[in-house]
Chains A and B, each alone.
Chain A
Amino acid sequence: MNKIPINIWINDQRYEKLSQVGLEKLTEEVLAGMKVLKIFCTEEQKDRLIKKFPKAKYDQSTTKSIELLPANFKDELFDKVIEKKSTNILSEVL
């Protein structure tokens, strides 16, 4: 079951792209118009991500999300969400 989130920051430009594919409702506003889109992964995917990006970590105590993933990888995730019109895209990029 996918349950561990990766937080993708959504600004106005990204929100517009999400709106065009009908996914804007999946975002949650967190601060001054900045929104977050959560992409969930399984335990196994989490382990593969951390192996692939050694600086990344699973923040178990505070955010309970995968942090410190490279910015370009998170950009890639966002682009894939737009392309596939779905947030269930991790298996395609891993």
Chain B
Amino acid sequence: MKIIGHGNQPIEERILESKTVNNVIKKLNYISISSRVARECINIAYGFFSPLKGFMNSKTLESVCQEMILPSEVLWPIPILLDIKKEEIDKKKLKVGDQIVLSYQGQPLALLDIDEIYQYDKQKIAQTVLGTTDEKHPGVKMLDKWNNYFIAGPIQLINEPKFQPPFDRFWYTPVQLRKLFKEKKWERVVAHQTRNVPHTGHEWLMKGAWFSANGDLSVEKLKTGILVSCIIGPKRVGDFIDEAILLGQQQLNDSSYFRNDVHMTSFVLWDMRYAGPKEALLHAIIRSNLGCTHHMFGRDHAGVGSYYDPYDAHRIFDKVPEGKLNIKPVRILEWWYCPICQEVTYSGLCGHTKERQNFSGTMVRSIIQDKVQPTRLLMRPEVFQTMMQSAEKYGFGSPFCNEKYLKQRQPVFLLSPIS
């Protein structure tokens, strides 16, 4: 039975068995790709980016930048591009019609059939997608580092990534997740995107989203699940280490703060563009391909600095024409701790505005940095322990990325040689 994804199109995995291509790839040009492009190859091949079949051509890019749609009129807000140096195009005499091998970590990863080789104004991409060309914006910085030429065409994965522990137990493709949701008998699934080790404020974001998504369904036999969908991608000094995020989120389940039959943790490989509202749309599209029916959006989703209003990522969904998106946004205000109510409570309900204590990321970070175990009202003790164990095992003693972690961390996935 076909699995229907974004744009009401079937999700088709684009994977060739390495045995079948072994002889073919020996004769082809190899292009070494960046870690971002490798992650996006994997996303295209497994259907996270369905209905995309490859990297975008200039017509698609123009359409995405100007109208936020693919030429097929399917909603799509963020360009997915393979950038390349002019010298490499010339040196390898690449041309339209060629088939090339995209290699990563020194191993073949995917085949690409070249449809187009082109240039496009990166400032224009920044302005239309990110809403700014300010070089301080991390998405603009990312674009600036890209090469000036782009190669477009469909890809096929020829070497499946082998995820390393602890990532392996959380890796699910869209097809696998759909199957799992069916086994769990989840009729509704609400996605919670995160790049954090959870404190109780995050826990309540998920709980609030679950209530909202469950809505009119029976509560005697639960049919709504929460998918914690962590973003795994490039890191900066001071971010939580990936391993602590995944294991900390899972600990909420292992310690029964969430029932195992309504909660699970997974991840998506993605390089954040910090495109605020447009990125929120892309996150919704990816999670709809995973089989989620709802997606929680809190304050300042995928935002950075003051480039976007904290609730722009809520409002953009009002502009999406009906039937263009197979997932519903769950819009959530802030949860805070109220010393009068003596509980974590919702800013849309609690009237003790003056007394409120906001979950300040800086404050939580400072407490963790000092290795002082937070109160259980702030962070579950089991989550704290797991985070500190992850720090020792994977983070060179710190739950936050430092220079050593960035240089020497274990890879998220490896590619084997094709024999």
A residues touching B (Cβ–Cβ < 8 Å)?
Answer: 7-14, 29-34, 67-68, 71, 74
Contact = CB atoms under 8 A, between A and B. Distances in A.
Contacts of B371: 71
B340 interface: no
Nearest to B379: A32
Given A11-B373, A71-B371, A31 B366 contact: no
Interface residues of B, number: 21
A63 to B, nearest CB: 8
Interface stretch (B56-64, B88-96, B256-264, B356-364): B356-364
B357 A71 contact: no
B370 A32 contact: no
A33 B369 contact: no
Contacts of B359: 31
A34 B375 contact: yes
A29 to B, nearest CB: 7
B357 to A, nearest CB: 5
A34 B378 contact: yes
B95 to A, nearest CB: 53
Contact of B360 (A29, A31, A33, A74): A31
15 contacts: A8-B370, A9-B366, A10-B372, A11-B373, A11-B374, A11-B375, A31-B359, A31-B360, A31-B364, A32-B344, A33-B377, A34-B367, A34-B374, A34-B375, A67-B366
Interface in B359-405: 359-360, 363-364, 366-367, 369-375, 377-378
Contacts of B200: 32
Contacts of B360: 31
B370 A31 contact: no
A31 B357 contact: yes
B368 to A, nearest CB: 9
B339 interface: yes
Nearest to A29: B339
B337 interface: yes
Most B Cβ at <10 Å: residue of A14, A30, A32: A32
Contacts of B363: 30-31, 34
Contacts of A33: 375, 377-378
- Please list the 9 inter-chain residue pairs (A to B) with the smallest Cβ-Cβ separation, ordered nearest first: A33-B375, A32-B378, A32-B377, A32-B337, A9-B372, A71-B371, A71-B370, A31-B357, A33-B377
A14 B378 contact: no
B357 A30 contact: yes
Given A31-B359, A32-B357, A12 B375 contact: yes
A34 B358 CA distance: 12
Contacts of A71: 369-372
A11 B372 contact: yes
B352 to A, nearest CB: 14
B378 A9 contact: no
